[in-house]
Amino acid sequence: MPITIKDIAKRTGVNHSTVSRALHGSNLISVETAERIRKAAREMGYQPSAAARSLKTRRSKVLGVIVSSIEDPFFSEIVFGIEAVAQDNGYSLFIGSSQHDNQRERKIVQTMLEHRTDGVIVCSSSFSVEHGRQLLDHGFPIVVVNHQATENFHYSIFHDDIDGSRQVTRHLIGLGHQRIAYLGNSVSGRTTLDRLSGFQAEMEAAGLPIPEGYIQHVPGGTALEGREGLQHFNGVAEFPTAIICYNDMIAIGLLQACREAGIHVPQDLSITGFDNISFSAFTHPPLTTFDQPKSSIGAEAARLLFELIDAEQKVTPGTQYVKILKGSLLVRSSTAAVLP
Amino acid sequence: MPITIKDIAKRTGVNHSTVSRALHGSNLISVETAERIRKAAREMGYQPSAAARSLKTRRSKVLGVIVSSIEDPFFSEIVFGIEAVAQDNGYSLFIGSSQHDNQRERKIVQTMLEHRTDGVIVCSSSFSVEHGRQLLDHGFPIVVVNHQATENFHYSIFHDDIDGSRQVTRHLIGLGHQRIAYLGNSVSGRTTLDRLSGFQAEMEAAGLPIPEGYIQHVPGGTALEGREGLQHFNGVAEFPTAIICYNDMIAIGLLQACREAGIHVPQDLSITGFDNISFSAFTHPPLTTFDQPKSSIGAEAARLLFELIDAEQKVTPGTQYVKILKGSLLVRSSTAAVLP
DNA sequence: AGATTAGATGCACACGTGTGCATTCAGAGA
DNA sequence: TCTCTGAATGCACACGTGTGCATCTAATCT
């Protein structure tokens, strides 16, 4: 049976409301009694009941985080950034990973609703519009991270994928590459399209053509899908000298497939990733990639959400707030100058 | 302003207690009114308040999970197993990652206490005894996973590291290796010691000596520490033909260091990992490792915890329950027969 | 000395839900 | 017709906390 403020009140001979005020540092209470009460609370090992507090204050001091898969190192670094900011503001996190499963997503949203989470951060590109609407209808402030359907949510944090992709492409062009291909992820929506258009824009700026079949998409973002990618390019007229991959995991799979096929990276083929997950430093060869500021993205999302919570929906409706963060190119050893 | 059962009561013209019973499927309520109430609840978009419910029932329907670092793929797979069982039982998870930081750990424990989590699963080998005691003093059921100080907690789930390590060692001996070294992680306590003693036991059973300097420890379990490992063995009289690593990440770092030093794996040196994190299938060469049933371990921990919750501390005190799970050897390409 | 004021504390209600007990009502049995 | 029984529903309190208002005391002012 946990200790309550009434227990403390009984022991110190005051009313429970006095205890409540003393523990909140209210200046209505004299310093001596306040100190006496705090001392008793410490000695008795008092821990306030979050349930009772949030029932009364209508603030749960909890943020909901919905992520497609928590074991994906990309997302866990974003969560890391969120958690730091949340802790600084005295908030805890409710994390749910949907695993791209609508049923699980439903249960997670249900949990957020029941726990009256003060706000929700969505880091799942596949998050369904229906569930988003459900949260919004219940008045939940929402911030989405890298989401495709930005028109459905008013507050988003984005990474500048176009800029990142241009930097990667420019790096390859600078190394003398002319036949550069793009291997995308067809299920990731806006993100893959931005990276594709950044690639296209930079190629066009350099006056380089993109041959037939040089733009391919695999249905997913894991290493297994990356392995499949190689087969696509084996079918084109002239094999590329460089392949830009949608993300690190695809690049890693492609790397393995190339090794098995006797294609040497970077001598025969340059390969680039995207995201800079921690593992990409330990591939063979270490992967040239684009370092997305994952932790900052998470932190920024949390900060924006806290602003919304403080504003209590008093922001003018109809406005759309979008914050765009930039990353930086990380050159390792999977790219090299093209042979003359 | 969320919908409450009183709102539903007003609309259907009954008392709120009738609504409460109807939504719980109590047979005190006539089927017609119950259906009428449920219909109204659906239409109004009612979501019960977790705070109010847990305040009244003294059950939060939330499990706490304390993990040392959530971005470690090893832990996230365990969490995955926990989450599945929790969801089946109508529970949600409160996840906190301590990052081996006592201050953060304190905040996490605080959160669990305030939210009156129905139980706690600890997956952090560095979890402090002091915080464990604090949770126990407040009557929290605790299940620890792979924890070193098992004597402080009554309920634990373990992976059979001794057996696993013996299987790995036997595999190498079967390939003809005689000079086998062990690269451990000095900060991981019991786990590394068990893996070490499994190695020693199997070597002794095969009548093989372990030369001076063949047992080394690095202060951590990441790839960077694995890289350091190579230097240790460069100093010994005769270089080993195989190195058993504490875990996959260390093996991956060692693999990279070997490549840079011109040591060919597995021709010159066999290397084994431990845990089978998803990434180990994509190293070069793919890593031979021991597949720890991470998801099952998490699931088993959750099941045990639910038993404790149901028993409501009615278990006889002083008893110690330990469940041990076994994994299986996974042979890939980082090990090979020793050259004659 | 009496009136006023500021400071400190208690009282009582509210938050949303669950549940023991009382109450009502209809139908069955005597 | 009257009593009894069981089904269905309402009443009221409790869970732990926060807060507006009332109350009380002692100090200050006129």
pLDDT of residue B26: 85
Q: For A287, phi and psi rounded to 5 degrees?
A: -85, 130
Mean pLDDT of chain B: 92
The nucleotide whose C1' lies nearest the CA of A6 is: D16
pLDDT in tens, B33-74: 899 999 999 999 999 999 999 999 999 999 999 998 877 888
pLDDT of residue B30: 86
- Rounded to whole angstroms, how far apart are CA atoms B137 and B152? 12
Question: Sorting pLDDT into bands at 50, 70 and 90, what band is B328?
Answer: very high
| Residue B266 distance to chain A (closest CA, Å) | 15
pLDDT in tens, A239-262: 999 999 999 999 999 999 999 999
Q: Show which of residues 29-68 on chain B sit within 8 Å of chain A, judged by CB atoms.
A: 45, 47-52, 54-55, 60
Adjacent-strand bridge partners of B245: B183
Exposure string (b/e) for A277-292, b if CB count within 10 Å is 16 or more? bbbbbbbbbebbbbeb
Instruction: Mark residue B141 as left, alpha or beta (left: phi above 0; alpha: psi -120 to 50; beta: remaining).
Output: beta
Which of A49, A279, A281 is nearest residue B55 as measured by Cβ atoms? A49
- Rounded to whole angstroms, how far apart are CA atoms A164 and A195? 7
Estimate to the nearest angstrom the gap between the alpha carbon of A140 and the chain centroid.
19
Distances (CA, A) of B320 to A172, B159, B304, B336: 61, 16, 12, 42
Instruction: Give rounded-to-5 percent helix, strand, coil for chain A.
Output: 45, 15, 35
- The predicted model gives B260-267 an average pLDDT of 96
Whether chain B has a CB inside 8 Å of the CB on A205: the answer is no
Question: Sorting pLDDT into bands at 50, 70 and 90, what band is B23?
Answer: very high
**Is it the case that residue B218 has pLDDT exceeding 90?**
yes
pLDDT of residue A317: 58
pLDDT of residue A126: 79
Does the distance separating the beta carbons of A52 and B2 come in below 8 Å?
Answer: no
Does the distance separating the beta carbons of A77 and B73 come in below 8 Å?
Answer: no
CA proximity to A253, closest of A214, A220, A210: A220
- Rounded to whole angstroms, how far apart are CA atoms A92 and B245? 36
Question: Sorting pLDDT into bands at 50, 70 and 90, what band is B28?
Answer: confident
CA proximity to B222, closest of B191, B188, B270, B193: B188
pLDDT of residue B99: 85
Instruction: Output A70 or B221, whichever has higher pLDDT.
Output: B221
Question: Sorting pLDDT into bands at 50, 70 and 90, what band is A149?
Answer: low
CA–C1' A29–C2 (A):
29
**Is it the case that residue B81 has pLDDT exceeding 60?**
yes
pLDDT of residue A160: 96
Instruction: Output A31 or A326, whichever has higher pLDDT.
Output: A326
Mean pLDDT of chain A: 92
Question: Sorting pLDDT into bands at 50, 70 and 90, what band is B313?
Answer: low
How long is chain B? Answer: 340
CA–C1' B42–C11 (A):
40
pLDDT of residue B331: 98
Chain A hits for B2, Cβ within 8 Å: 116, 138
Closest residue in B to A48 (Cα) is B114
- Rounded to whole angstroms, how far apart are CA atoms B119 and B65? 9
The nucleotide whose C1' lies nearest the CA of B53 is: C17
Residue B158 parent element (H or E): strand B155-159
Chain A hits for B52, Cβ within 8 Å: 51, 55
**Is it the case that residue A310 has pLDDT exceeding 70?**
yes
CA proximity to A265, closest of B253, B284, B279: B284
* Contact by Cβ (8 Å): A97, A70: yes
pLDDT of residue B74: 87
Q: What residues have CB less than 8 Å from B184, skipping those under 6 apart?
A: B192, B195, B196, B215, B216, B217, B218, B246
Residue A56 parent element (H or E): helix A50-57
CA proximity to A290, closest of A202, A186, A179: A202
- Rounded to whole angstroms, how far apart are CA atoms B293 and B279? 15
pLDDT of residue B25: 87
pLDDT in tens, B106-145: 999 999 999 999 999 999 877 888 999 999 999 999 999 9
CA proximity to A68, closest of A137, A145, A156, A130: A145
pLDDT of residue A188: 80
pLDDT of residue B216: 96
pLDDT in tens, A85-124: 998 999 999 988 888 889 999 999 999 999 999 999 999 8
pLDDT of residue A312: 61
* Contact by Cβ (8 Å): B210, B200: yes
pLDDT in tens, A4-33: 999 999 999 999 999 999 999 888 888 888
For residue B245, the 8-state DSSP code is E
* Contact by Cβ (8 Å): A67, A123: yes
